[in-house]
């Protein structure tokens, strides 16, 4: 890498805001963010989930969002392209990109929790899979369905009625 390229490359702090729908597919969301950064010729230095909270106001009819904090190394002329790609994205609602030259490499590495992101993506996928087995997570209206009696309970009730008849 030439010194001219190094001079134009900066370290940036990016806060991505994703919709709850996108966060349901957490692994795909993280992969999407990584793809957008790669399209901007950037490199992820550190990434972690910052928070999952209620928004101050609705954005695209979304009341909650998931914040992902990333520190990236990216050419300065590609930052605008990254912002544009986020605006076009249907998974991400907003992005805030700030220059992070004031942070040392050790401070940035302290914020790295990519393993935690991977673990959370696996956990969410397992929960979604388990939810599919239990009726696909749909809410049913009305009275709960009566539990079917087991064969033992049915046999006991038959013997009770037989003894009453005697």
Q: Is the pLDDT higher at 150 or at 12?
A: 12
> Nearest CA to 64 among 108, 98, 18?
18
Residue-wise pLDDT tens digits, 34-62: 999 999 999 999 999 998 999 999 988 88
Instruction: Tell if the pTM clears 0.85, that is, is over it.
Output: no
The whole-number average pLDDT for the span 66-72 is: 95
Question: Is a pLDDT exceeding 80 seen at residue 157?
Answer: no
Q: Which CATH superfamily is domain 3-104+112-133 in?
A: Ribosomal protein S6/Translation elongation factor EF1B (3.30.70.60)
The whole-number average pLDDT for the span 75-98 is: 94
> Nearest CA to 49 among 100, 120, 124?
120
């Amino acid at each position: 890498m030439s010194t001219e390229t190094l001079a134009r490359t900066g370290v940036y702090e990016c806060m991505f805001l994703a919709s709850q729908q996108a966060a349901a597919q957490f692994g795909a969301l993280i992969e999407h963010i990584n793809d957008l950064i790669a399209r901007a010729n950037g490199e992820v230095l550190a990434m972690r989930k910052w928070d999952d909270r209620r928004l101050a106001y609705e954005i695209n009819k979304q009341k909650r969002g998931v914040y992902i904090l990333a520190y990236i190394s990216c050419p300065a002329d590609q930052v605008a392209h990254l912002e544009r790609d986020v605006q076009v994205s249907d998974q991400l609602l907003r992005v805030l990109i700030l220059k992070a030259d004031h942070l040392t490499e050790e401070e940035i590495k302290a914020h790295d929790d990519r393993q935690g992101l991977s673990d959370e993506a696996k956990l969410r996928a397992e929960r979604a899979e388990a939810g599919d087995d239990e009726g696909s997570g749909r809410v049913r209206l009305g009275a709960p369905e009566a539990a079917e009696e087991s064969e033992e309970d049915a046999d006991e009730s038959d013997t009770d009625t037989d003894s009453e008849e005697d």
